[in-house]
Every structure is written in C-alpha cells, then in structure tokens.
Amino acid sequence: NYSSTDLNGELDNNDSYEIGNYWNFIITDKFSYTFEPHYFYNVNDFNSSNGTKHHWEITNTFRYRINEHWLPYFELRWLDRNVGPYHREQNQIRIGAKYFF
C-alpha cells in the first residue's frame, strides 16, 4: 500500500471499510433481480468524494435467462454525491451478457 496526503497534510494510508449486502430475488424461472447496497467508511483522516467520512454505492441488476448458456443483464448503479467537480450524484449503466459453457 502507499501513503496519501490526508486532511491534515500528513502522509497516511487512505483505507476504508466496506459493508456490502446482496439481496437476490427470483421473479420467474427466467427473470431475476439483485439489490446490492454497499456502505463505505473511511478510516484515518480522509474523506470520501462526497466530502464526508462515509458514502453509499447502490446497484440494481436485472437478469433474463434466455437458455442454459446465455444470461444477459442490465445494471444500474448510483454513486453518492460528489463534492467536485460535478456537485451531484453520479450513475453508471452496464449492459452485458454472460455465457456459460
């Protein structure tokens, strides 16, 4: 690990704790949904990008099983408010497919 400059101008490790949950819901035999909230807490004298010592990242994933090989998915992720340069929440979208041999 390497050291970064903390809020007091000292060199220290910018470490964090992460608590993640995975809630899986089988809607039908082909359609499923996963709710995935993650909570991050910064240790030492560092802040998250939202200007506080903690932040959330929440992911919603929708999957549809076409057959035994193909599983396409659509994922929406919300990232906590960013202090700069955007000063707003950020979202990520991921579209993909898994293939099982």
Specify the pLDDT at position 47.
78
Confidence of residue 51 (pLDDT cuts 50, 70, 90): confident
All structural domains of the chain with their residue ranges: 16-99
**Overall fold of domain 16-99:** Porin (2.40.160)
Express each pLDDT in 6-43 by its tens digit.
Answer: 787 777 887 889 999 999 999 999 999 999 999 999 88
SS3 sequence of 39-96:
EEEECCCCCCCCCCCEEEEEEEEEEECCCCCEEEEEEEEEECCCCCCCCCCEEEEEEE
Specify the pLDDT at position 1.
57
- Token pair of 63, please? 């999957």
Of 59, 58, 47, whose CA–CA distance to 84 is shortest? 47
Specify the pLDDT at position 65.
98
Express each pLDDT in 67-79 by its tens digit.
Answer: 999 999 999 999 8
